[in-house]
Structure 1
Amino acid sequence: SIGEALGKLYVADYFPPESKARMLDLVNNLRSALADRIKTLEWMDDATKEAALKKLAAFTVKIGYPDKWRDYSALQIDRGPFALNAIRASIFDVHRELNKIGKPVDRSEWGMTPPTVNAYYNPKLNEIVFPAGILQPPFFNPKADDAVNYGGIGAVIGHEMTHGFDDQGRQFDEVGNLRDWWTPESAAKFKERSGAVVKQYSEYEPLPGLHVNGELTQGENIADIGGVKIAYAALQKALAGKPQEKIDGFTPEQRFFLGFAQIWRSVQRDEDLKLMVNTNPHSPARYRVNGPLSDLVEFQKAFNLPDNCPMVRPADKKVNIW
């Protein structure tokens, strides 16, 4: 209930203006890379491409924190019992929601508080949102080079953008209306390719006898694959004409993929993994990395991997949507 009040303090300490400016550059470069990709899609017809580009151009981008902070002057918070503070905060929130009735939708409002380590795409508002909490290492580091940041937060940006065109997001238009803007031909080809994503991830077996639910995780997997691919394309545009220097023995391309992999490093108990596979629309962390990278020829080229490497899917099985 008081997330924005705490968020204002968090932003003051952990999200300087220069970080927001750099993030805006990243988002603009990713948007440009996705636009280039849409224009060259071999499976999408011109009418659907035009509508997709219109939707992409209409994305609202929110970075770090709201432009206008919530007014808490009517909320009493004191050093008295925690329960009373919580009750007053809940009442304050209920009144705030009720006051929205009959008024225009406030498109500047945020669905997450600034310290939240997450990001989201809202199809009903056609917006992508990146709270300050996720704009910290290992996702984003203002002191790191472009390759690492494009691999980290860049892939997250691409992921959220791709949600606008996944199996769910594609059903909404540029202003957030539930409307079919796809031609039947392009829709059929999308479903064929998204079916390949379902098949690929359903093959993964986190534990003996336990497979990833390819249908449940379809939208997130499409966004994972598209996100890293778009981020890589954006990095190539950012590096154009600049010296391709190695750092710690790694090329920019290799640093990009290492930056991507490190954001999903995790330790998970088998019990939690079982619960996740059965209920979570995201794939387990291992497959959020290995799945997309095994589809990318750029990854194979960056590390000079042989065709028979387990991290390289056969050419006829590589997934290619966005």
Structure 2
Amino acid sequence: WQDWMAFHFISSNAAYLPKAFDDASFNFYAKTLSGTPQKRERWKRGIQLVNGALGEAVGEIYVARHYPPESSAKMNELIVDLRASLDERLEANQWMDPATKEKALAKLVAFDPRVGHPAKWVDYSSMKISRGDLLGNMMASREWGQNYQLSKLGKPVDRSLWDMTPQTVNAYYNPLANQITFPAAILQAPYFDAKADPAVNYGAIGAIIGHEIGHGFDDQGSQFGADGKFANWWTPEAKAAFAKRTAVLVEQFNGYEPIPGTKINGKLTLGENIGDLGGVEMAYGAYQRYQAKHGKAPVIGGLTGDQRFFLSYAQAWQSKVREDAERQRLLTDPHSPAKYRVNGIVRNVDAWYVAFNVKPGDALYLPPEQRVKIW
């Protein structure tokens, strides 16, 4: 057991040990398992280390330098429109019975959105740091983190705390608190620009807002009520109708083969695919609400507002991934590859067919009866 413990201690701390340990770890975990050809520059790894150990301290600096106040106001406007869009869809829903629909609407009302950064910052002053002792500093960081978590025991849950730093380009839904969180760093191109064409914002960050809201009603989030408690608030009939629709989505994604011989796991990716589909539908509905209030969008660069909406959604997912890394993700990642988060989703959205005049025989065409409609 001592050899086992020594190996795992060294393996988990290889990046903070002499170069030979770090090289051996990289050659196996990165080069062999995921096909990473070389390490990132040392300065980038250094920033990543500090960011991981002192995340909110870095975040406070990031927000002061790079987060304009008007971003919060614009985001809150988008969130209001997205919630209203889902409210309309739930009210008009035909497969959800009245009892379940009432609970779903109550959960939507109870959603707690957070934008930009925490209201208060984490205090790291008790962490002991010594210049010249990298391994010791990382051990101190872990000890501080454990003590920080232990300090919460026996106390009321602090709903103001964040599980993601402001400088993280991401967003998340917490089912235990019924909260959606959008860090400052995602509020930039290609996802968001407070001065951008509304079609672009609704298509990109709008779909992400809808995605996170949708997690509250996907195969996992639907198991939690408006107060974040684990509860079955679905009638058997509504649950069966939901399962019937999501099963079609599973089969669709099971059929996609990003790498020859390796297909998407439709069941593994179901929750995220539900989020993506619902996100686009909600965002499009919200964009229509915006136009109803402000007037029909003009044609810009030969593109209609609806076309710009869908192109913005697609551009937000542009990426480049090595085949080895893609293969590993297909086996373990609950998210579908970026290409299929676009092409696999929009072919279920009626408005996309109208926007681009997609017809039978076109590559992504799906007959109306095969399109998945959840929300």
TM-score of the alignment, normalized to the shorter chain, above 0.5? yes
Q: Does residue 145 of structure 1 match 2:197? A: yes
Q: Does residue 281 of structure 1 match 2:334? A: yes
What is the CA distance between 1:17 and its match in structure 2?
Answer: 0.7
What is the CA distance between 1:87 and its match in structure 2?
Answer: 2.9
**Aligned-partner SS, 2:160:** coil
**Aligned-partner SS, 1:226:** helix
Cα distance in 1 for partners of 2:128, 2:302 equals 56
Counterparts of 1:146-165 in structure 2 under 5 Å?
146-165=198-217
Cα distance in 2 for partners of 1:148, 1:312 equals 24
Match of 1:110 in 2: 162
The 10-residue stretch of structure 1 (147-156 or 238-247) with the greater mean CA deviation from structure 2: 238-247
Q: Which amino acid aligns with 1:263?
A: A
Q: Does residue 192 of structure 1 match 2:235? A: no
What is the CA distance between 1:243 and its match in structure 2?
Answer: 4.1
Match of 2:31 in 1: none
Q: Identity rate of aligned residues, in percent?
A: 50
Q: Which amino acid aligns with 2:364?
A: M
Match of 1:263 in 2: 316
Match of 2:174 in 1: 122
Tell me which of 145, 158, 164 is aligned to 1:93: 145
**Bigger share in helix:** 2
Measured against aligned partners, the alpha-carbon deviations of 1:111-136 in whole angstroms (never above 9, x if no partner) come to 01111111111111111111112111
The 10-residue stretch of structure 1 (33-42 or 135-144) with the greater mean CA deviation from structure 2: 135-144
**Aligned-partner SS, 1:61:** strand
**Aligned-partner SS, 1:62:** strand
Cα distance in 2 for partners of 1:210, 1:92 equals 42
Q: Which amino acid aligns with 2:212?
A: E
Counterparts of 1:1-322 in structure 2 under 5 Å?
1-77=53-129, 79-240=131-292, 241-322=294-375
Q: Which runs of 5+ in 2 are unaligned?
A: 1-52
Cα distance in 2 for partners of 1:312, 1:226 equals 19
The 10-residue stretch of structure 1 (142-151 or 165-174) with the greater mean CA deviation from structure 2: 142-151
Normalised by the length of structure 2, the TM-score is 0.83
Name the count of aligned residue pairs.
322
Measured against aligned partners, the alpha-carbon deviations of 1:89-111 in whole angstroms (never above 9, x if no partner) come to 22222221111111111111100
Measured against aligned partners, the alpha-carbon deviations of 1:208-240 in whole angstroms (never above 9, x if no partner) come to 222111111111111111100100000010111
The 10-residue stretch of structure 1 (14-23 or 300-309) with the greater mean CA deviation from structure 2: 300-309
**Aligned-partner SS, 2:347:** helix
Normalised by the length of structure 1, the TM-score is 0.97
Measured against aligned partners, the alpha-carbon deviations of 1:246-266 in whole angstroms (never above 9, x if no partner) come to 122111111110110011101
Cα distance in 2 for partners of 1:12, 1:87 equals 29
Q: Which amino acid aligns with 1:282?
A: H
Cα distance in 2 for partners of 1:253, 1:122 equals 31
Q: Which runs of 5+ in 1 are unaligned?
A: none
Any runs of at least 4 consecutive aligned residues in structure 1 with deviations exceeding 4 A, and if so which?
76-80
